[in-house]
Structure 1
Protein backbone atom coordinates (compact mmCIF):
# COMPACT_ATOMS: atom_id res chain seq x y z
CA UNK A 1 0.00 0.00 0.00
CA UNK A 2 1.12 3.56 -0.57
CA UNK A 3 0.21 6.95 0.80
CA UNK A 4 -1.99 7.84 3.73
CA UNK A 5 -5.43 6.46 4.08
CA UNK A 6 -8.24 8.76 5.12
CA UNK A 7 -12.02 8.80 4.98
CA UNK A 8 -11.96 10.16 1.42
CA UNK A 9 -9.66 7.38 0.14
CA UNK A 10 -11.23 4.87 -2.24
CA UNK A 11 -12.02 1.55 -0.59
CA UNK A 12 -11.19 -0.99 -3.30
CA UNK A 13 -9.68 -4.39 -2.68
CA UNK A 14 -6.23 -4.96 -4.21
CA UNK A 15 -7.87 -7.12 -6.91
CA UNK A 16 -10.41 -4.37 -7.70
CA UNK A 17 -7.58 -1.83 -7.96
CA UNK A 18 -5.65 -4.18 -10.26
CA UNK A 19 -8.69 -4.57 -12.52
CA UNK A 20 -9.38 -0.81 -12.47
CA UNK A 21 -5.84 0.24 -13.36
CA UNK A 22 -5.71 -2.31 -16.18
CA UNK A 23 -9.01 -1.03 -17.54
CA UNK A 24 -7.73 2.57 -17.50
CA UNK A 25 -4.45 1.54 -19.15
CA UNK A 26 -6.28 -0.34 -21.92
CA UNK A 27 -8.80 2.46 -22.48
CA UNK A 28 -6.20 5.25 -22.71
CA UNK A 29 -3.33 3.16 -24.09
CA UNK A 30 -1.36 4.06 -20.97
CA UNK A 31 -1.62 7.85 -21.18
CA UNK A 32 -4.57 8.77 -18.94
CA UNK A 33 -4.68 6.91 -15.64
CA UNK A 34 -6.21 8.35 -12.47
CA UNK A 35 -3.67 7.24 -9.89
CA UNK A 36 -5.59 8.94 -7.06
CA UNK A 37 -7.93 5.93 -6.98
CA UNK A 38 -5.18 3.50 -6.00
CA UNK A 39 -3.54 2.62 -2.72
CA UNK A 40 -1.61 -0.37 -4.06
CA UNK A 41 1.76 -0.14 -5.79
CA UNK A 42 1.89 -1.36 -9.37
CA UNK A 43 4.60 -1.64 -12.01
CA UNK A 44 2.75 1.22 -13.78
CA UNK A 45 3.05 4.58 -12.02
CA UNK A 46 3.19 8.34 -12.62
CA UNK A 47 6.50 10.10 -13.16
CA UNK A 48 7.16 13.05 -10.90
CA UNK A 49 8.08 16.00 -13.09
CA UNK A 50 10.19 17.82 -10.57
CA UNK A 51 13.60 19.43 -10.64
CA UNK A 52 15.13 16.39 -8.97
CA UNK A 53 16.72 13.25 -10.30
CA UNK A 54 15.13 9.97 -9.15
CA UNK A 55 17.40 7.73 -11.20
CA UNK A 56 20.91 6.50 -10.53
CA UNK A 57 21.38 5.89 -14.26
CA UNK A 58 21.10 9.50 -15.53
CA UNK A 59 22.39 12.88 -14.50
CA UNK A 60 19.55 15.16 -15.67
CA UNK A 61 16.43 15.94 -13.64
CA UNK A 62 13.21 14.05 -14.34
CA UNK A 63 11.60 17.16 -15.91
CA UNK A 64 14.59 17.65 -18.25
CA UNK A 65 14.76 13.94 -19.07
CA UNK A 66 11.12 13.64 -20.13
CA UNK A 67 11.39 16.99 -21.91
CA UNK A 68 14.34 15.70 -23.93
CA UNK A 69 12.45 12.52 -24.85
CA UNK A 70 9.42 14.60 -25.93
CA UNK A 71 11.64 16.90 -28.05
CA UNK A 72 13.12 13.85 -29.79
CA UNK A 73 9.63 12.43 -30.33
CA UNK A 74 8.25 15.64 -31.89
CA UNK A 75 11.36 15.91 -34.11
CA UNK A 76 10.68 12.37 -35.39
CA UNK A 77 7.00 13.26 -35.89
CA UNK A 78 7.93 16.41 -37.85
CA UNK A 79 10.28 14.44 -40.11
CA UNK A 80 7.72 11.71 -40.72
CA UNK A 81 4.70 14.00 -41.23
CA UNK A 82 6.42 16.98 -42.88
CA UNK A 83 5.30 19.38 -40.14
CA UNK A 84 7.15 21.88 -37.96
CA UNK A 85 5.81 21.64 -34.42
CA UNK A 86 7.96 23.00 -31.59
CA UNK A 87 8.08 21.40 -28.15
CA UNK A 88 6.64 23.59 -25.36
CA UNK A 89 6.38 21.50 -22.16
CA UNK A 90 5.65 18.07 -20.71
CA UNK A 91 2.19 17.81 -19.12
CA UNK A 92 2.63 14.39 -17.54
CA UNK A 93 4.36 11.06 -17.95
CA UNK A 94 3.50 7.53 -16.88
CA UNK A 95 6.07 4.78 -16.45
CA UNK A 96 5.76 1.04 -16.93
CA UNK A 97 8.66 -0.78 -15.29
CA UNK A 98 9.61 -4.33 -16.21
CA UNK A 99 12.91 -5.41 -17.79
CA UNK A 100 13.35 -1.78 -18.72
CA UNK A 101 11.01 1.17 -18.88
CA UNK A 102 8.22 2.27 -21.18
CA UNK A 103 7.33 5.93 -20.90
CA UNK A 104 3.92 7.30 -21.87
CA UNK A 105 4.58 11.03 -22.25
CA UNK A 106 1.85 13.64 -22.80
CA UNK A 107 3.25 16.99 -23.90
CA UNK A 108 2.36 20.29 -25.56
CA UNK A 109 3.80 21.55 -28.85
CA UNK A 110 2.96 24.58 -30.95
CA UNK A 111 2.52 24.88 -34.71
CA UNK A 112 3.80 27.75 -36.91
CA UNK A 113 0.57 29.69 -36.17
CA UNK A 114 1.32 29.52 -32.42
CA UNK A 115 -1.61 27.18 -31.79
CA UNK A 116 -0.79 24.63 -29.12
CA UNK A 117 -1.62 20.95 -29.53
CA UNK A 118 -1.32 18.05 -27.11
CA UNK A 119 0.79 15.11 -28.23
CA UNK A 120 1.38 11.63 -26.87
CA UNK A 121 4.63 9.72 -27.26
CA UNK A 122 5.50 6.18 -26.24
CA UNK A 123 9.20 5.68 -25.60
CA UNK A 124 10.94 2.41 -24.71
CA UNK A 125 14.16 2.27 -22.70
CA UNK A 126 15.36 -1.30 -22.39
CA UNK A 127 18.07 -1.53 -19.76
CA UNK A 128 21.59 -1.50 -21.20
CA UNK A 129 20.25 -0.48 -24.63
CA UNK A 130 19.41 2.71 -26.40
CA UNK A 131 16.11 4.52 -26.21
CA UNK A 132 13.57 3.73 -28.94
CA UNK A 133 10.68 6.03 -29.83
CA UNK A 134 7.73 3.73 -30.54
CA UNK A 135 5.37 6.46 -31.71
CA UNK A 136 4.38 10.08 -31.42
CA UNK A 137 0.90 11.31 -32.30
CA UNK A 138 -1.58 14.06 -31.67
CA UNK A 139 -3.73 13.22 -28.68
CA UNK A 140 -6.96 11.78 -30.13
CA UNK A 141 -9.79 14.25 -30.70
CA UNK A 142 -7.70 17.17 -31.99
CA UNK A 143 -7.37 18.61 -35.46
CA UNK A 144 -4.43 20.49 -36.91
CA UNK A 145 -5.33 23.63 -38.79
CA UNK A 146 -3.28 26.65 -39.70
CA UNK A 147 -5.46 29.18 -41.50
CA UNK A 148 -2.82 31.71 -42.47
CA UNK A 149 -1.51 30.67 -45.91
CA UNK A 150 1.85 32.25 -45.28
CA UNK A 151 2.36 30.05 -42.24
CA UNK A 152 0.73 26.87 -43.58
CA UNK A 153 2.93 23.81 -43.25
CA UNK A 154 3.26 21.94 -46.54
CA UNK A 155 3.39 18.22 -45.95
CA UNK A 156 6.25 16.39 -47.61
CA UNK A 157 5.70 12.99 -49.27
CA UNK A 158 5.40 10.29 -46.61
CA UNK A 159 8.11 7.67 -46.53
CA UNK A 160 8.15 4.22 -45.03
CA UNK A 161 10.70 4.68 -42.24
CA UNK A 162 11.95 1.11 -42.46
CA UNK A 163 12.89 1.12 -46.15
CA UNK A 164 12.98 4.88 -46.97
CA UNK A 165 10.65 4.25 -49.93
CA UNK A 166 7.67 6.41 -50.68
CA UNK A 167 4.50 4.79 -49.39
CA UNK A 168 2.53 5.52 -52.54
CA UNK A 169 5.02 3.79 -54.85
CA UNK A 170 4.19 0.19 -55.71
CA UNK A 171 7.11 -2.09 -56.43
CA UNK A 172 6.80 -5.29 -58.45
CA UNK A 173 8.55 -8.25 -56.97
CA UNK A 174 9.05 -11.20 -59.30
Structure 2
Protein backbone atom coordinates (compact mmCIF):
# COMPACT_ATOMS: atom_id res chain seq x y z
CA UNK A 1 0.00 0.00 0.00
CA UNK A 2 1.06 3.60 -0.55
CA UNK A 3 2.53 5.48 2.35
CA UNK A 4 0.01 7.67 4.17
CA UNK A 5 2.55 10.51 4.09
CA UNK A 6 2.55 10.65 0.28
CA UNK A 7 0.88 13.76 -1.11
CA UNK A 8 -1.70 12.87 -3.76
CA UNK A 9 -0.02 14.81 -6.55
CA UNK A 10 3.30 13.04 -6.00
CA UNK A 11 3.97 10.21 -8.43
CA UNK A 12 3.67 6.81 -6.81
CA UNK A 13 6.47 4.60 -8.14
CA UNK A 14 5.87 1.58 -5.91
CA UNK A 15 5.29 -1.31 -8.39
CA UNK A 16 3.25 -3.20 -5.77
CA UNK A 17 0.77 -0.34 -5.38
CA UNK A 18 -2.22 -0.26 -7.77
CA UNK A 19 -1.84 3.54 -8.04
CA UNK A 20 1.74 3.21 -9.27
CA UNK A 21 2.72 5.24 -12.36
CA UNK A 22 5.85 3.89 -14.07
CA UNK A 23 6.20 4.18 -17.84
CA UNK A 24 7.03 0.85 -19.49
CA UNK A 25 7.74 -0.19 -23.05
CA UNK A 26 4.73 -0.89 -25.25
CA UNK A 27 6.61 -3.56 -27.19
CA UNK A 28 9.47 -5.50 -25.61
CA UNK A 29 10.42 -7.71 -28.54
CA UNK A 30 11.02 -7.15 -32.23
CA UNK A 31 10.97 -4.13 -34.51
CA UNK A 32 8.18 -1.58 -34.51
CA UNK A 33 5.44 -2.14 -37.06
CA UNK A 34 4.81 0.51 -39.70
CA UNK A 35 1.73 1.62 -37.78
CA UNK A 36 3.76 1.96 -34.58
CA UNK A 37 6.48 3.88 -36.43
CA UNK A 38 3.91 6.37 -37.73
CA UNK A 39 2.46 6.74 -34.23
CA UNK A 40 5.91 7.33 -32.76
CA UNK A 41 6.63 9.99 -35.40
CA UNK A 42 3.38 11.76 -34.52
CA UNK A 43 4.31 11.72 -30.84
CA UNK A 44 7.97 12.63 -31.21
CA UNK A 45 8.13 14.49 -34.51
CA UNK A 46 10.42 13.58 -37.39
CA UNK A 47 13.85 12.37 -36.38
CA UNK A 48 16.93 14.11 -37.78
CA UNK A 49 20.66 14.27 -37.09
CA UNK A 50 20.12 16.55 -34.10
CA UNK A 51 17.66 14.20 -32.40
CA UNK A 52 18.98 12.73 -29.13
CA UNK A 53 19.82 9.04 -29.19
CA UNK A 54 19.65 7.03 -25.99
CA UNK A 55 19.58 3.34 -25.25
CA UNK A 56 16.15 1.88 -24.54
CA UNK A 57 16.89 1.72 -20.82
CA UNK A 58 18.19 5.31 -20.79
CA UNK A 59 14.93 6.41 -22.43
CA UNK A 60 12.88 4.53 -19.85
CA UNK A 61 14.85 6.12 -17.01
CA UNK A 62 14.52 9.58 -18.60
CA UNK A 63 10.77 9.47 -19.18
CA UNK A 64 10.13 8.29 -15.61
CA UNK A 65 12.41 11.03 -14.28
CA UNK A 66 10.36 13.63 -16.19
CA UNK A 67 7.10 12.07 -14.99
CA UNK A 68 8.20 12.26 -11.36
CA UNK A 69 9.58 15.80 -11.68
CA UNK A 70 6.42 17.24 -13.28
CA UNK A 71 3.98 14.90 -11.50
CA UNK A 72 3.02 13.59 -14.95
CA UNK A 73 2.03 16.86 -16.61
CA UNK A 74 5.14 17.96 -18.56
CA UNK A 75 7.10 15.36 -20.52
CA UNK A 76 9.29 16.09 -23.56
CA UNK A 77 8.26 13.25 -25.87
CA UNK A 78 10.61 14.48 -28.62
CA UNK A 79 13.49 12.76 -26.82
CA UNK A 80 12.15 9.21 -27.18
CA UNK A 81 12.44 6.62 -29.95
CA UNK A 82 10.58 3.98 -27.93
CA UNK A 83 6.83 3.69 -27.47
CA UNK A 84 5.68 3.74 -23.85
CA UNK A 85 2.37 3.21 -22.07
CA UNK A 86 2.64 6.87 -21.00
CA UNK A 87 1.96 9.15 -23.97
CA UNK A 88 0.30 12.43 -25.05
CA UNK A 89 -3.28 12.78 -26.21
CA UNK A 90 -4.17 13.79 -29.74
CA UNK A 91 -6.96 16.08 -28.61
CA UNK A 92 -9.01 16.00 -31.80
CA UNK A 93 -9.12 12.19 -31.80
CA UNK A 94 -10.36 9.53 -29.37
CA UNK A 95 -7.86 7.67 -27.21
CA UNK A 96 -10.31 4.82 -26.60
CA UNK A 97 -13.07 3.18 -28.62
CA UNK A 98 -15.18 3.24 -25.44
CA UNK A 99 -15.35 7.03 -25.61
CA UNK A 100 -17.86 8.56 -28.02
CA UNK A 101 -16.34 12.03 -28.27
CA UNK A 102 -12.99 13.58 -29.05
CA UNK A 103 -10.39 13.83 -26.32
CA UNK A 104 -10.76 17.60 -26.39
CA UNK A 105 -14.43 17.35 -25.42
CA UNK A 106 -13.89 14.41 -23.05
CA UNK A 107 -11.03 16.03 -21.14
CA UNK A 108 -12.92 19.33 -21.25
CA UNK A 109 -15.79 17.74 -19.32
CA UNK A 110 -13.39 16.25 -16.79
CA UNK A 111 -11.65 19.61 -16.40
CA UNK A 112 -14.99 21.34 -15.77
CA UNK A 113 -15.79 18.80 -13.05
CA UNK A 114 -12.32 19.30 -11.57
CA UNK A 115 -12.54 23.10 -11.47
CA UNK A 116 -16.03 22.89 -9.95
CA UNK A 117 -14.61 20.79 -7.12
CA UNK A 118 -11.69 23.21 -6.74
CA UNK A 119 -14.09 26.18 -6.50
CA UNK A 120 -16.15 24.45 -3.82
CA UNK A 121 -13.07 23.54 -1.81
CA UNK A 122 -11.23 26.86 -2.16
CA UNK A 123 -14.19 29.28 -2.24
CA UNK A 124 -13.32 30.58 -5.72
CA UNK A 125 -15.31 31.05 -8.93
CA UNK A 126 -13.01 30.01 -11.78
CA UNK A 127 -14.63 29.08 -15.08
CA UNK A 128 -13.21 26.52 -17.48
CA UNK A 129 -11.91 27.92 -20.79
CA UNK A 130 -10.09 25.19 -22.72
CA UNK A 131 -7.87 22.12 -22.51
CA UNK A 132 -4.23 22.88 -23.23
CA UNK A 133 -2.90 19.31 -23.31
CA UNK A 134 -3.26 15.92 -21.65
CA UNK A 135 -0.98 12.98 -20.96
CA UNK A 136 -2.28 9.44 -20.53
CA UNK A 137 -0.99 6.47 -18.57
CA UNK A 138 -2.58 3.15 -19.50
CA UNK A 139 -2.63 0.52 -16.75
CA UNK A 140 -5.79 -1.10 -15.32
CA UNK A 141 -7.70 1.62 -17.12
CA UNK A 142 -6.29 5.10 -17.62
CA UNK A 143 -4.79 7.88 -15.54
CA UNK A 144 -5.19 11.32 -17.12
CA UNK A 145 -2.90 14.29 -16.46
CA UNK A 146 -4.87 17.26 -17.82
CA UNK A 147 -3.50 20.78 -18.21
CA UNK A 148 -6.22 23.35 -18.83
CA UNK A 149 -6.98 27.07 -18.72
CA UNK A 150 -9.62 28.73 -16.53
CA UNK A 151 -10.49 32.36 -15.91
CA UNK A 152 -11.43 34.20 -12.74
CA UNK A 153 -14.20 36.74 -12.19
CA UNK A 154 -11.95 39.47 -13.66
CA UNK A 155 -11.44 37.45 -16.87
CA UNK A 156 -7.80 36.80 -16.02
CA UNK A 157 -6.67 33.35 -17.11
CA UNK A 158 -4.79 30.83 -15.01
CA UNK A 159 -3.37 27.42 -15.85
CA UNK A 160 -4.61 24.45 -13.85
CA UNK A 161 -3.59 20.81 -13.60
CA UNK A 162 -5.95 17.94 -12.83
CA UNK A 163 -5.25 14.26 -12.30
CA UNK A 164 -8.19 11.97 -13.06
CA UNK A 165 -8.35 8.17 -12.93
CA UNK A 166 -10.60 6.16 -15.23
CA UNK A 167 -10.68 2.89 -13.33
CA UNK A 168 -11.02 -0.05 -15.71
CA UNK A 169 -12.58 2.46 -18.17
CA UNK A 170 -15.77 2.49 -16.09
CA UNK A 171 -15.45 4.64 -12.97
CA UNK A 172 -14.10 8.21 -12.92
CA UNK A 173 -12.14 9.30 -9.85
CA UNK A 174 -10.87 12.88 -9.49
CA UNK A 175 -7.56 12.73 -7.62
CA UNK A 176 -6.80 16.45 -7.42
CA UNK A 177 -7.02 19.82 -9.16
CA UNK A 178 -4.55 22.63 -8.53
CA UNK A 179 -3.08 25.78 -10.00
CA UNK A 180 -0.01 24.88 -12.02
CA UNK A 181 3.04 25.52 -9.81
CA UNK A 182 5.37 28.39 -10.64
CA UNK A 183 2.83 30.86 -12.02
CA UNK A 184 3.74 34.45 -11.23
CA UNK A 185 1.48 36.79 -9.33
CA UNK A 186 -1.25 36.24 -6.81
CA UNK A 187 -4.56 34.80 -7.86
CA UNK A 188 -7.15 37.58 -7.84
CA UNK A 189 -9.66 35.10 -6.50
CA UNK A 190 -7.61 34.76 -3.32
CA UNK A 191 -8.47 38.29 -2.19
CA UNK A 192 -12.17 37.70 -2.85
CA UNK A 193 -12.64 34.57 -0.81
CA UNK A 194 -15.21 34.95 1.91
CA UNK A 195 -13.94 33.72 5.25
CA UNK A 196 -16.88 32.65 7.34
CA UNK A 197 -16.64 33.80 10.94
CA UNK A 198 -17.99 31.53 13.67
CA UNK A 199 -21.57 32.28 14.61
CA UNK A 200 -22.22 33.53 18.10
CA UNK A 201 -25.37 33.49 20.20
CA UNK A 202 -26.09 37.19 20.68
CA UNK A 203 -27.91 36.56 23.95
CA UNK A 204 -25.20 34.53 25.64
CA UNK A 205 -22.22 35.77 23.58
CA UNK A 206 -21.10 32.16 23.24
CA UNK A 207 -20.75 30.03 20.11
CA UNK A 208 -23.84 28.15 19.13
CA UNK A 209 -23.78 24.58 20.29
CA UNK A 210 -21.19 25.23 23.01
CA UNK A 211 -22.22 25.19 26.67
CA UNK A 212 -20.26 26.03 29.77
CA UNK A 213 -20.49 24.41 33.17
CA UNK A 214 -20.82 26.95 35.96
CA UNK A 215 -20.03 25.69 39.41
TM range (shorter): 0.7 to 0.9
List alignment gaps of at least 5 residues for structure 2: 1-31, 33-39, 197-215
State the partner residue of 1:63. Answer: 104
Q: Does the 8 Å contact 2:148/2:160 carry over to 1? A: yes
Q: Does the 8 Å contact 1:73/1:136 carry over to 2? A: yes
Give the one of 133, 139, 146 matched to 2:180: 139
Give the one of 67, 81, 85 matched to 2:122: 81
Structure 2 residue matching 1:55: 3-state secondary structure: coil
Q: Does the 8 Å contact 1:81/1:156 carry over to 2? A: no
Q: Distance in 2 between matches of 1:145 and 1:13?
A: 43
Give the one of 82, 95, 98 matched to 1:40: 82
| RMSD of aligned residue pairs (Cα, Å) | 1.8
State the partner residue of 1:13. Answer: 55
Over alpha carbons, which structure has the higher Rg? 2
Consecutive aligned runs of 4 or more in structure 1 exceeding 4 Å deviation: none
Q: Distance in 2 between matches of 1:5 and 1:145?
A: 41
Greater percentage in strand: 1
Question: How far is the alpha carbon of 1:130 from its aligned partner?
Answer: 1.4
Pairing 1:102–2:143 present:
yes
Question: How far is the alpha carbon of 1:153 from its aligned partner?
Answer: 2.9
Q: Distance in 1 between matches of 2:114 and 2:73?
A: 15
Change (3 A) 1:100 1:112: same
Q: Does the 8 Å contact 1:84/1:153 carry over to 2? A: no
Question: How far is the alpha carbon of 1:60 from its aligned partner?
Answer: 1.0
State the partner residue of 2:72. Answer: 30
Write the deviation string for residues 66-110 of structure 1: whole angstroms up to 9, x where unpaired.
111111100010011110000011111000110110000011100
Give the one of 157, 171, 175 matched to 1:130: 171
Give the one of 98, 104, 113 matched to 1:72: 113
How many residue pairs are counted as aligned between the two chains?
152
